[in-house]
Amino acid sequence: MSVETQKETLGFQTEVKQLLHLMIHSLYSNKEIFLRELISNASDAVDKLRFEALAKPELLEDGAELKIRVSFDKDAKTVTLEDNGIGMSREETIAHLGTIAKSGTADFLKNLSGDQKKDSSLIGQFGVGFYSAFIVADKVEVFTRRAGLAAGEGVHWASKGEGEFEIATVEKAERGTRIVLHLKSGEEEFADGWRLRNVIKKYSDHIGLPIELPKEFHGEEKDKPAEPEWEVVNRASALWTRPRTEVTDEQYQEFYKHVSHDYDNPLSWSHNKVEGKLEYTSLLYVPGRAPFDLYQREAPRGLKLYVQRVFIMDQADEFLPLYLRFIKGVVDSNDLSLNVSREILQKDPVIDSMKSALTKRVLDMLEKLAKNEPEQYKTFWKNFGQVLKEGPAEDFANKEKIAGLLRFASTAEGEGEQVVSLGDYVSRLKQGQDKIYFLTGESYAQVKNSPHLEVFRKKGIEVLLLTDRIDEWLMSYLTEFDGKSFVDVARGDLDLGLLDSEEDKKAQEEVAKSKEGLVERLKTALGEQVAEVRVSHRLTDSPAILAIGEQDLGLQMRQILEASGQKVPDSKPIFEFNPSHPLIEKLDAEPDEDRFGDLSHILFDQAALAAGDSLKDPAAYVQRLNKLLIELSA
């Protein structure tokens, strides 16, 4: 190695300092993951070289076989990992090794609790890329040169993980990256061929290029060859190209961690090879936890795209719809040109066919998970349910299939759990019931105790309780399921159809006719606050409720629009009263019109509060209530 030039000392980004401090000063239950992380990085570097060499074959330089080599020196207490991939320039080295990228590492830091034992376990699982080298090393050196740059533009990076690093320009004949780990005292176990071989087989067998170790030498030292002989210790075939019968669950799980940078195992996966009109292989995963940027619709997403086993791009988002943006995995096609760009992807009709098939594959995988592993599906729903609810609006072709995967709370189930599927609901329909009833609201407590449910409780009719902010918007696209239309129990004039007997309907008509005078008095008292006043058939215990007009926005949608600064169309509620309630009977008998007006407004405001709305004039409500309390106590 020639003399170093342009040598300088630079400081790490704050987050890196925090991370390195934890790695150097904590105990680890799973130290060996450092090798998994460094091999994954080396594999990515080779993938990037393959792709760039499609347009610039000269980047391959000597044309040597692409591979990763791991070696060790027991006497020097070092482990060295070398690849002949894309390498890094000086600027790239500073950017990649001095800062934390957006690949989830910053989110990982947010999850650190300050509890050394818990945090060390978390780091042990995740590894957080290159910095995991400091789990076992007290000094790390990197020698690298980007493909296409001159030999004199090599880079030497070195750090002891203490807040700063040195960087210098050096001579490096071969492109790619060599990392030398100077092992800490007590970590000498990794300077051992058998130990390294086992770790590589355990974590990196799926890597699709050769990982070589020096062959073990057995014999007299004088007969030892001058140059080491290398042997491949992994299968060196891309995992998705192997038959499913040859891949273990553990290998599928490790490959998921490789493609997703996640540290948990996936909930489920689907590995398929398609032959015929289209030829491609897909390996799709349902993650076990939600990423921090799940609700940033513009965040990077998509599958790793390969064409005939050549890596093309990391986040090809054209193969799945936006509502399935949480799915991770690989798609390898034989039908796309190797010089694929985003523009070509967007125009290629083959992509549309693959997207349709892969979307169906994911939905089938979720159906299978829901049917065979309901507890796992609960975890999925908790993490990704709100994103899946975007589906009916975005994917008309699969609306019914998506609807079957949705889960809701219900009046028929336990405390607030979103576990009821629409299939469950339909299977429990009462005789004569041809509708699916639901109620939206801000919280489970609010909708569970809503007066709108009183008649349904009385008749034993199940109602779905929808409390996510997205639910009212969802139901504007989800109009029916299994031939049964959806009915919002807080909207319009409730008609229970065959669930009401002829006697019930006749009695309702007679009561409505007998209360026409009270209806007119209430209309006059409430004036412009209401669109209509009518006798309610929904109530058994409460005196009054506010219903929403058939075409009007519900409370959830109004609040979402207002919060986003959009103008909300004017609408007025429908005031319904329970004619048999003692308060309504007293109101009907009240001769003083001023007092009648005050009582009417108190009932209106109480109904608004019960619906989860805020009062337009809280001070007036308090004054009227205080006035009534004073009268009662006099």
266-273 CB contacts, 8 Å cutoff, 24+ apart: 266/328, 267/369, 267/376, 267/379, 267/380, 268/365, 268/366, 268/368, 268/369, 268/373, 268/376, 269/329, 269/365, 270/361, 270/362, 270/364, 270/365, 271/240, 271/244, 271/247, 272/361
Give pLDDT, residue 110.
61
Residue at 565 is within a domain: yes
Q: Are residues 195 and 282 located together in one domain of the fold?
A: no
Q: Are residues 328 and 226 located together in one domain of the fold?
A: no
Instruction: Say how far apart CA 354 and CA 400 lie, in whole Å.
Output: 20
Q: Are residues 38 and 160 located together in one domain of the fold?
A: yes
Tokens of 303: 């599958």
Q: Is the pLDDT of residue 1 over 70?
A: no
The CATH number given to whatever domain includes residue 507 is 1.20.120.790
Residues of the binding site for ATP = 37, 41, 83, 88, 102-104, 125-130, 177, 342
Residues of the binding site = 37, 41, 83, 88, 102-104, 125-130, 177, 342
Residue at 387 is within a domain: no
Closest by CA to 553, choosing from 447, 465, 440, is: 440
Q: Give the pLDDT band of residue 20 (cuts 50, 70, 90).
A: confident
Residue at 44 is within a domain: yes
Q: Are residues 330 and 452 located together in one domain of the fold?
A: no
Q: Are residues 365 and 463 located together in one domain of the fold?
A: no
Give pLDDT, residue 111.
60
Residue at 188 is within a domain: yes
List C-alpha distances in Å: 234 to 208, 238, 239.
Answer: 9, 11, 11
Q: Are residues 128 and 250 located together in one domain of the fold?
A: no
Q: Is the pLDDT of residue 621 over 60?
A: yes
Q: Which residues span the domain enclosing 366?
A: 240-382
Instruction: Say how far apart CA 130 and CA 37 lie, in whole Å.
Output: 7
The CATH number given to whatever domain includes residue 482 is 3.40.50.11260
Q: Give the pLDDT band of residue 561 (cuts 50, 70, 90).
A: confident
Choose between 98 and 224: higher pLDDT.
98
The CATH number given to whatever domain includes residue 255 is 3.30.230.80
Q: Is the pLDDT of residue 23 over 70?
A: no
Q: Give the pLDDT band of residue 155 (cuts 50, 70, 90).
A: very high
Last residue of one domain, picked from the residues 452, 467, 498: 498
- Coil vs helix vs strand at 357: helix
Instruction: Say how far apart CA 368 and CA 391 lie, in whole Å.
Output: 18
Choose between 129 and 458: higher pLDDT.
458
Q: Are residues 226 and 288 located together in one domain of the fold?
A: no
By the 8 A CB rule, do 251 and 206 touch? yes
Q: At 38, which amino acid appears?
A: L
Mean pLDDT of 368-374: 94
Identify the weakest region by mean pLDDT among 204-208, 322-326, 434-438.
204-208
Q: Are residues 474 and 531 located together in one domain of the fold?
A: no
The CATH number given to whatever domain includes residue 82 is 3.30.565.10
Last residue of one domain, picked from the residues 349, 382, 415: 382
Last residue of one domain, picked from the residues 498, 532, 554: 498
Q: Are residues 320 and 349 located together in one domain of the fold?
A: yes
Q: How many domains does the chain have?
A: 4
Q: At 582, which amino acid appears?
A: P
Choose between 184 and 206: higher pLDDT.
184
DSSP 507-540: HHHHHHHHTHHHHHHHHHHHGGG-SEEEE-SS-S
Q: Are residues 248 and 348 located together in one domain of the fold?
A: yes
Residue at 21 is within a domain: yes
Residue at 531 is within a domain: yes
Give pLDDT, residue 95.
84
Q: Are residues 511 and 565 located together in one domain of the fold?
A: yes
Computed over every residue of the chain, the mean pLDDT equals: 85
Tokens of 558: 């109004």
Give pLDDT, residue 2.
55
Q: Which of 187-196, 448-457, 471-480 has the highest mean pLDDT?
A: 187-196
Residue at 15 is within a domain: yes
Q: Are residues 177 and 46 located together in one domain of the fold?
A: yes
Choose between 170 and 535: higher pLDDT.
170
Q: Which residues contact 285 (CB under 8 A, 6 or more apart)?
A: 256, 259, 260, 266, 268, 269, 327, 328, 329
Residue at 439 is within a domain: yes
Q: Is the pLDDT of residue 494 over 70?
A: yes
By the 8 A CB rule, do 306 and 289 touch? no
